[in-house]
Chain A
Amino acid sequence: MELKLPPHLTPAQFQTALKDFASVVGPGWVLSSDEDRDAYSDVYAPGDAAQWPPSAAISPASVEEVRAIVRLANRYKTPLWPVSRGKNLGYGTAAPRLPGSIVLDLGRMNRILEVDAALGYAVLEPGVGFFDLYEHLQRTKTPLWMSVPGNAWGSVIGNALDHGIGYTPYGLNARNLCGIEAVLPDGDLVRTGLGAMANNKAWHVFPFGYGPTWDLMFSQSNMGIVTKAGVWLMPAPETSLELIWDIPEEGDIGWVIDTLAPLKIAGVVDQSIFIPSWLGKIVLKGQRRDFWDKPGAIPEWRVKELLTQYKLGYWQVALRLYGDEGIVKARADVVKAAMARHLKTPPVENWWRQGDPVNAMDITMGVPSAVPLQMSDWIGGRGAHLGFSPVVPATGAAVTDQLKRSRKIIGDADVDFYASFTIGGRFANNVNMLMYDRDDAAGIAKMRQLFDVLITETAKAGYAEYRTHLGWMDKVNATFDFNDHAMRRLNERVKTALDPNGILAPGKQGVWPAAYRDLSGGGKA
């Protein structure tokens, strides 16, 4: 990828800055070749990856190096785009929002600093991946389970900071953070919560500070660079029971939500309950052309044939209970009785007990896997995906309303419909997966237009995305419009006060420092 300089910098200034950055991290960790820029671009970009070009990447190994880089970035006015491991696939990967930003790749800061098996937490640097932590827990025989996302290639801290979700009782990953250390945009270093006291022994077990509590200020944020954090982990259960129901009809989702959400809210079910539509199962069986070889959405009659042929319901509920056997059995009786009021077919039951093998594909048991990314192969070619992800109340009426709306919009665009709802508590995360071939320009143009319509129409109905791709960060931010976008105005006042030079992730989530506000513009750089 050709060099796109940071705004307002001359080539000579840029080269001088890189030389100074190299004096901090060593020349081998300043990555500024065309090949490096390609690798840090959005490899899943809907359209040309050069829309969000980095100018270089720097990879520090310690908090001291991060602080030195931030001070230099202020001196040279080089915007930095921090990534933990840069695997935010579908949301921009490692690429920056502002063209020419330097990616700050924290992947080398990958120390597991502490694991407390009794209290159930770990203290991690941002470069620690889900695979790294899982293997550490296995090797040390530590009886703790992680909450892993669908694609577990990335960072434990990075995923939590980006409001990622998992599928165990600890499925709200940002809620698991407890005690954050962050470098501020001027190079200062803070610790949140009780960590604001030097050597406080309860930093990673008590979730508040004394006075205002700033932890989530650093999530989906450009207010600081998180250099370590405490993460709560779930005690490994004695047993676990998986209950699987195939839910026959699309319209059944209403009663499914109204049955399961109250059980989740009451604590009978404690996991985040993932309910994917049929396409989520069939993507693992082959490519689209194996099932339907014509352009346009797979027609209804063919969907019905496929569901029959592969013995799939339109939805699947694979619910998991955790704990001592007596508790699990009692909870299972309540859940099965509730479901039986609507569905005569009993669930498939899979018991797991301590010592049994764990299915490596089962993310509800905290095992990291990259296999769900196989869905990229569904379309064929250089496959990729975008997720449209609004949050709605966990009621049958709200979920059905959301389903009908996105179903119609996606159907009108003649695109395959692949949705899931995850009941995380009083809400359901709806992810509509849009898959495309990166070399199909017409298909990408259709996806982008479709994404625009989904955001606009869903906002009109009173719902917003919880997370989005670089190209729509401003557009989604604009949907938060209470009192003339008061939240954006607050964020930008804080941002500009903390970061007058605007060097830290300008434009992240649509929050711009005054220094670069004029470069926002319409959702795309």
Chain B
Amino acid sequence: MRNGAIALVVAVAGFGAALAQGGPHDAGPPTYQMRAPESGGDRLAASQDAAAIFSHRCGYCHLPAGMGTNLLTKQQVLAGNPPAMGLLTNRNDLAVDYVIAVARNGKGAMPPQTRVDITDAELKAVAAYLAKGKAR
């Protein structure tokens, strides 16, 4: 049994709630995180608002207290990183190609995303946004 690990993940599960409430000292129940509305216009075209696309297309799971955030927070903490790294927008180690590969192929509990879920143009913008300028 890995009782230490149990205590850790319970603490991490609580983190999602704290994050949603705005701080680690206010641990009420998590509130719903509104995604950005769907951007209008041609989804197949480039040059869209990447932050809004990320929020709308990936926000089902990757906003505070989302399923993806909860699982990634657990992974990050086990790897010795701060729990805030569970949010993809806080990460500094993501590369464009990696983000695209994970979205299209899936990873762990995450299923692959279709090109209706997120188009190539949208994913390219999101990957650049999450990679914060790193090309690869």
Contacts and interface: CB of A to CB of B under 8 A. Distances in A.
B106 A357 contact: no
A57 B119 CA distance: 14
Given A358-B31, A383-B109, A105 B116 contact: yes
Contact of B1 (A39, A94, A293, A360): A293
B112 A360 contact: no
B34 A371 contact: no
Contacts of A376: 109
B29 A286 contact: no
Contact of A134 (B6, B9, B32): B32
Contact of B116 (A107, A132, A362): A107
Given A370-B67, A374-B67, A376-B109, A36 B9 contact: no
A170 interface: no
Contact of A357 (B9, B10, B28, B119): B28
A40 interface: yes
B70 to A, nearest CB: 6
B10 A371 contact: no
Contact of B115 (A36, A286, A287, A377): A36
B60 A43 contact: no
A383 B108 contact: yes
A369 B67 CA distance: 8
Main secondary structure on chain B at its contact with chain A?
A: loop
Q: Which one of A59, A89, A94, A359 has the greatest number of beta carbons of chain B within 10 Å? A: A359
A38 B115 contact: no
Interface residues of B, number: 40
A358 B34 CA distance: 13
Contacts of A521: none
B124 interface: no
A185 B112 CA distance: 30
Nearest to A359: B29
Interface residues of A, number: 55
A36 B70 contact: no
B65 A371 contact: yes
B112 A43 contact: yes
B87 to A, nearest CB: 15
Given A360-B20, A374-B67, A43 B106 contact: yes
A135 B35 contact: yes
B66 A28 contact: no
B79 interface: no
Contacts of B10: 285-286
B6 A290 contact: yes
B28 A28 contact: no
A10 B29 CA distance: 57
Interface in B28-69: 28-35, 37-38, 44, 59-61, 65-67
A31 B35 contact: no
B116 to A, nearest CB: 4
Contacts of A36: 114-115
Contacts of A289: 2
A382 interface: yes
Contacts of A38: 105, 112
B10, B29, B60, B71: most-surrounded residue (chain A CB, <10 A): B60
A285 B6 contact: yes
Interface of A: 26, 28-29, 31, 35-36, 38-40, 43-44, 57, 59, 86, 89, 93-94, 105, 107-108, 110, 129, 131-132, 134-135, 138-139, 153, 284-287, 289-293, 357-362, 367, 369-371, 373-374, 376-377, 381-383
Given A36-B115, A286-B5, 18 more contacts: A28-B44, A31-B115, A35-B104, A36-B114, A43-B111, A105-B116, A131-B35, A135-B34, A153-B61, A285-B13, A286-B9, A290-B2, A290-B5, A291-B6, A371-B65, A371-B67, A373-B67, A374-B71
10 contacts: A31-B116, A43-B106, A44-B111, A89-B111, A138-B32, A357-B28, A359-B31, A360-B20, A361-B65, A371-B65
